[in-house]
Every structure is written in structure tokens, then in C-alpha cells.
Amino acid sequence: MRHESNLTSKGQVTVPKDIRDALGLVAGQPVRFELDADGNARILKVDTVAEKERRKAEYLDRLKEAQAIFKANDAFPGMSTDEYMAMIREPIQPFERDGAESDDQA
């Protein structure tokens, strides 16, 4: 199958109907473009379930990498989040512990 189409000023191309049908493409469905080493481009149907799983796996890999970087640069090793937050907060004032006084009691 071979077709030609014109590129619009917005960089859009109409994918011929028989190619859309052969790939099982429908309006609004994502497609992938790949460019090989020889400069040839391909249009591929995106398997949405597999694509979501791939993106999720990539996200989790990046998250693990970021966690490792933060852990390696931990300024307070062994300190819990609650301990750190208590350390950086101002001491609790008596009015915070007992509740705010109303204007009637002042």
C-alpha cells in the first residue's frame, strides 16, 4: 500500500482511509511516529493499555531514582518526617495547646 498526502501549514497530514482501516485507527486515538536510522518514518497504532503500563513503569523507575538521590543526600539520616517537622517548627505556645481564648475571656 502506498499513498501520498500534502502537509498542511500546521504540520498535519490526512492518513488515508484504507491505512486507517488496516491499522484499526479511529478518530481521537493516539498514534506513534517512529523515525529509523535511515530517515524513514512509520506511523503505529498505540496499544493504550500497554502504553499506560509502559509509562507507569517509567514513572516508577524515575521515582525510585529520585528517592535514591534524596536518600543518598539525607541531611538527617534516621530522622522521621514527624521528628523533622517538630524540629523546624516553633515551640508550641500555651494558647495553641489550650485553644484560642475568645474575646469574652480576654
Cβ atoms of residues 7 and 13 within 8 Å: yes
Beta carbons within 10 angstroms of residue 43's beta carbon? 14
State yes or no: pLDDT of 103 exceeds 60.
no
Q: Could you tell me if 66 and 41 lie in one domain?
A: no
Predicted TM-score of the model (pTM):
0.42
Q: What is the pLDDT of residues 19-46, one digit of tens each?
A: 999 988 989 888 999 999 999 999 988 8
In a domain, 8, yes or no: no
pLDDT for position 105: 54
∠ CA 76-80-82 to the nearest 5 degrees?
120
d(CA 59, CA 56): 5
**pLDDT at residue number 101:** 54
What are the φ and ψ backbone dihedral angles of 32, each rounded to 5 degrees? Answer: -115, 140
Print the domain residue range for 31.
17-46
Alpha helices in the chain (DSSP H): 17-23, 48-72, 81-88, 94-98
Number of domains composing the chain: 2
